[in-house]
Copies of this chain bind each other. A is one copy, B any other.
Amino acid sequence: MAESTFEQILSTAFDYKTEKYVIVKKHKVGVLYRVIQLCIIGYLIGWVFVINKGYQATEDSIQSSVITKVKGVVLINSSDTGVSLWGPEDYVIPPNGDANFFITTNVTQIPNQTLGICAESDRIPDGRCSDHDDCPRGESVRAGHGIKTGQCLNKDRNGTCEIHGWCPGEESQKSHVLGKVENFTIFIKNFIRFPRFSFSKSNIPETQDRSYLQKCNYDESVHPYCPIFRLGDIINKTGHRFQDMAQAGAAIGILINWNCNLDIDSSQCHPKYSFIRLDVNTTVNSITTFNFRYARYYKNATGHDYRTLFKVYGIRFNVMVHGKAGKFSIINTIVNIGSGLALLGAGSFLCNMLLLYYMRNRDEDRNKMYDSIKAGSSRNDTSTRDKAQEEESREQQQLTSLKLQADFSKDAEASA
């Protein structure tokens, strides 16, 4: 070691230093070690590689565009509001083919409302009164429909405040369920893109039969890739009944899941549709009613506003697109193997600790597993052993030292 020339450095640079091992013939530990090894290898192969495809680079951030189109018409023949025909331009809100859209299932029309004076609905707590003082003038009714005029109408029994608002109020009309909505069809166009792999696909099957899309209806078993869905089917797949939803409204999620393995042919990458009800009813019934109001405004000959107010209950659909694409990547493969091996190392580390600290006659094992290097040089090193060698002959003494010289091969050279 005294003369460390360049050649030496170079040569030693390519020496391979590995641990010196001790074979412990204790099957308790051995078996434990093998079990741990098996677990880790199983985890590595089974979980990391087979299940999680650890050899692939994956892309989660999917670029997606959803265009929806609802078809179907329904006729309402009401005694009070007369005949009216509802088409997609009316019952789909907003009508612009968005991924989130609302389909009206239950409507109350209040035609010919004008600004004026009338009684607040007695369903609104803040609208009830028993005296004029309960209706301070100019104050708006909390969660109500107008501004209090200061009068309490019909105050002797369940009176309500008089309000300045759009009259007549909603009570004047009854609601109509659009019965045929079940038969409406929803055409969902979904275009996806995995930027990392610049891979694009749409959910529209590449069929030659051009009329296929005019005939087919999605059916998990028969037409799993037909992008046209019957509204009633969707609701049934969520495990609910249309009748329950039509009255009070609901929110339904249409999940499109793309799980593409780009190592195989892209034509194998198909969307998977699933349907869930999003507004699970956890509490009192009234909670999950989903309704809102909108109005159509008109002007009469004298230029005064009047309007038709629509209070609609319905089903809101959210089309949610998720996706994952995987493609072989050497880096991911190496990294996963590497970390797997690191785990194996950790396994043996674990066994060592068990062996050293928890097994019987551990002192002895430890001794066999450890050599000692004192802060000083190998001088003290040998002296530690004198105890063991007092009764030995001078010759043996010498032999031993020889042995030591030989035992620590390079050391021997040095001490020569």
Q: How far is the CA of A180 from the CA of B338 in the complex (A)?
A: 59
Give the distance to chain B from A25, nearest Cβ to Cβ, in Å: 4
A232 CB within 8 Å of chain B: no
Q: List 27 A-B contacts (CB under 8 A).
A: A14-B31, A16-B30, A16-B32, A18-B352, A19-B369, A65-B278, A65-B279, A73-B145, A87-B145, A87-B293, A89-B309, A90-B295, A95-B294, A98-B100, A189-B288, A191-B280, A193-B278, A207-B283, A210-B284, A338-B343, A340-B346, A341-B350, A364-B373, A367-B410, A369-B373, A372-B409, A399-B399
Q: How far is the CA of A415 from the CA of B363 in the complex (A)?
A: 12
Q: Which residues of B contact A347 (CB under 8 A)?
A: 338, 341
Encode A83-96 as 1/0 by CB contact (under 8 A) with B.
11101111001111
A388 contacts B367, C-beta separation under 8 Å: no
Give the distance to chain B from A403, nearest Cβ to Cβ, in Å: 5
Encode A273-289 as 1/0 by CB contact (under 8 A) with B.
00010111011101110
A411 CB within 8 Å of chain B: yes
Name the CB-closest residue of B to A100: B98
Encode A62-79 as 1/0 by CB contact (under 8 A) with B.
011101010111110000
| Nearest 6 A/B pairs, CB to CB | A65-B278, A341-B346, A388-B412, A14-B30, A19-B19, A20-B20
Q: How far is the CA of A415 from the CA of B349 in the complex (A)?
A: 29
Give the distance to chain B from A7, nearest Cβ to Cβ, in Å: 13
B405 contacts A402, C-beta separation under 8 Å: no
A264 CB within 8 Å of chain B: no
Give the distance to chain B from A390, nearest Cβ to Cβ, in Å: 8
Given contacts A67-B290, A279-B189, A412-B388, contact A115 B84 (CB under 8 A): yes
* Copies of this chain present: 3
Partner pick for A20 among B22, B205, B294, CB 8 A cutoff: B22
A364 contacts B96, C-beta separation under 8 Å: no
Encode A29-61 as 1/0 by CB contact (under 8 A) with B.
111111000011001000100000000000001
A130 CB within 8 Å of chain B: no
A367 contacts B71, C-beta separation under 8 Å: no
Name the CB-closest residue of B to A34: B14
Q: How far is the CA of A301 from the CA of B299 in the complex (A)?
A: 10
Q: Which residues of B contact A90 (CB under 8 A)?
A: 295
Selecting from A153-161, A237-245, A374-382, the interface stretch reads A374-382
Given contacts A292-B69, A396-B399, contact A371 B25 (CB under 8 A): no
